[in-house]
Amino acid sequence: MAEELGVKGNVAFLTGQFEEAIQHYSDGIKLAPEDYELYFNRSLAYVSLEKYEQALEDAKQMVKLKPDRVEGYSRLGESFGGLGKQEEAIDAYKEGLECDPQNIKLIADLAIAASNAGQFEVATKYESDVINLAPENHLLYSKRSSFNHSLEKYEQALEDAIKTVELKPDWWPGYNRMGEAYLGLRKYQEAIDAYKKSLDIQPGSHMVYFNLSRAYSSLQHYEQALEYAKESVKLKPDWGEGYRRLGKSYDGLGKHEEAIDAYKKGLECDPKNGRLKSQLVLSSAKASGSKSGSSGRIISHVHGAFDVLKAFQRNFWGAPNQTNERGLIYYSSSCTSKLSNAQKINFLSSESLQ
């Protein structure tokens, strides 16, 4: 009977009926509480619903019942990862590797967990281990390229991107990865060429248009940057970063009012996006400065338009590692050299920023 319920659960799972699948698995567990497979499948169903706490409980039970089966550790790591507990996920994958040291999936998952924890050196090491086991898998080189990019090792990132393209020449993300590496190396024209190859294969990728806009901005070709930023927003109108790129293109052209509108639209999509807030502050300060040299005018404009500064005031008085935000507020409050130091401090400590 428990086996029948397991089959019913599998059918429901495969058709996307995850709640129904969970019910079948749960009924089966009542009849066969030692059935490892039922816990495994129910955990997977919980993950599909992003119910990671429940998935974790089932994964722990799996490991308890079958400590020598790597699937339990894989599920355990995935559940911890879903809860944002990357260190625990890493430990789970490592425990699984003690059972099966050459399990490709576990090593690959461990690399991803390490990258999510910001441990890119560790992630690169494990990704290299996977590549040694599966040297013809283009996805592995693409991931390692990404890890090296995060470490600002752009030459290595480029090598892996080139290898990705060699293995899978019709795969557009490979050229996108190549463009990112060239961008890191400040080889902007090469980056543009790579991104355009990516578009030839997949013309509907908002991310590639975004990256092309970045590359053209780096060359200070803001008209082209604006063109590609607009296309990125058109393809992904609910993505805040697209509007940030649109705003930066307008800023490059000196069209600060249009930039402000773009940043505000971006914040409607992503209200907590700190980079959008930063750019809105800077662009508004520039717009103020261009309209009037009066310090009173500048402060009035900033107070009227920059509720976003509230989020940064704590950073100004906060820890030393908040230098970017601190500098941003100082810049936006001064706008021009016409503000005295006393005016800057008064502005930053004013009640409107509390």
Instruction: Determine the length of the chain.
Output: 354
d(CA 176, CA 85): 30
CATH 3.40.50.620 fits 152-202, yes or no: no
Mean pLDDT for the chain? Answer: 85
If one counts every other C-beta atom within 10 angstroms of the C-beta of residue 223, the result is: 10
What homologous superfamily does CATH list for 204-271? Tetratricopeptide repeat domain (1.25.40.10)
Nearest Cα neighbor of 228 from 311, 219, 324, 92 is 219
Cα of 337 vs its chain's centroid, Å? 37
Token pair 């990132």 is found at: 157
Please check whether the two domains, 1-135 and 204-271, share a CATH topology.
yes
Give the mean pLDDT of 158-185: 97
Count of beta carbons in the 10 Å neighbourhood of residue 322? 16
Highest mean pLDDT: which of 171-180, 275-284, 340-349? 171-180
Q: How far is CA 99 from CA 67, 92, 264, in A?
A: 9, 11, 52
In this prediction, residue 330 carries a pLDDT of 41
Range of weakest confidence among 120-124, 135-139, 149-153, 314-318: 314-318
Distances (CA, A) of 212 to 183, 189, 259, 285: 10, 10, 18, 27
**% pLDDT > 70, the chain:** 81
pLDDT over 60 at 216, yes or no: yes
Q: Which fold has domain 1-135?
A: 1.25.40
pLDDT tens digits, one per residue of 1-40: 888 888 888 999 999 999 999 999 999 999 999 998 999 9
Q: Which pLDDT value is given to residue 331?
A: 41
Using an 8 Å Cβ cutoff, are 275 and 291 in contact?
no
Lowest mean pLDDT among 203-217, 226-240, 288-302, 316-330: 316-330
pTM of the model: 0.75
Q: Tokens for 125? A: 């090491």
| CA 243 to chain CA mean position, Å | 16
Residues 211-214: contacts with CB within 8 Å, 24+ apart?
211/176, 211/179, 211/180, 211/183, 213/245, 213/246, 213/249, 214/183, 214/245
- The pLDDT of residue 186 is 97
Q: How far is residue 33's CA from residue 30's CA, in Å, rounded to a whole number?
A: 6
Mean pLDDT calculated for residue range 158-167:
98
Contact 61, 87 (CB under 8 A): no
Give the start-to-end residue ranges of the domains of the chain.
Answer: 1-135, 152-202, 204-271, 277-354
Q: Give the pLDDT confidence score for residue 63 in this predicted structure.
A: 93
User: Who's near 68: CB < 8 A, 6+ residues apart?
Assistant: 99
SS (H, E, C) the chain: CHHHHHHHHHHHHHCCCHHHHHHHHHHHHHHCCCCHHHHHHHHHHHHHCCCHHHHHHHHHHHHHHCCCCHHHHHHHHHHHHHCCCHHHHHHHHHHHHHHCCCCHHHHHHHHHHHHHCCCHHHHHHHHHHHHHHCCCCHHHHHHHHHHHHHCCCHHHHHHHHHHHHHHCCCCHHHHHHHHHHHHHCCCHHHHHHHHHHHHHHCCCCHHHHHHHHHHHHHCCCHHHHHHHHHHHHHHCCCCHHHHHHHHHHHHHCCCHHHHHHHHHHHHHHCCCCHHHHHHHHHHHHHHHHHHCCCHHHHHHHHHHHCHHHHHHHHHHCCCHHHHHHHHHHHHHHHCCCCCCHHHHHHHHCCHHHC
